[in-house]
Amino acid sequence: MQKFEPRPSEASIKLYERSEFRVAFALAFAFSQIHNEKNQKIAPRIERKRDSIEFERSENQGQF
């Protein structure tokens, strides 16, 4: 004899879809926050690196 499982109601389906959306949105938001934070940390490093390269070039030009 086959057992038929009850079909979920429309309300429970919508609740499940909303919860999935909330999780996806929370993950996307967290990713964007981490990504922005990393970009803010990387930018000063790039500037310092660029400044040190320009300084080395100016020092090297004076040697010749």
Q: Is it the case that residue 23 has pLDDT exceeding 70?
A: yes
Q: Mean of the per-residue pLDDT values for the chain?
A: 77
Phi-psi sector, 3: left (phi>0), alpha (psi -120 to 50), beta = beta
Between 30 and 16, where is the model more confident? 30
Q: How far apart are CA 39 and CA 33, in angstroms?
A: 10
At residue 20, does pLDDT exceed 80?
Answer: yes
Residue labelled with tokens 């879809």: 17
> Strands, DSSP E only, in the chain?
none
**How confident is the model at residue 28, as a pLDDT?**
92
40-64 tens-digit pLDDT: 766 666 677 777 777 777 766 665 4
State residue 14's pLDDT score. Answer: 81
pTM over 0.85: no
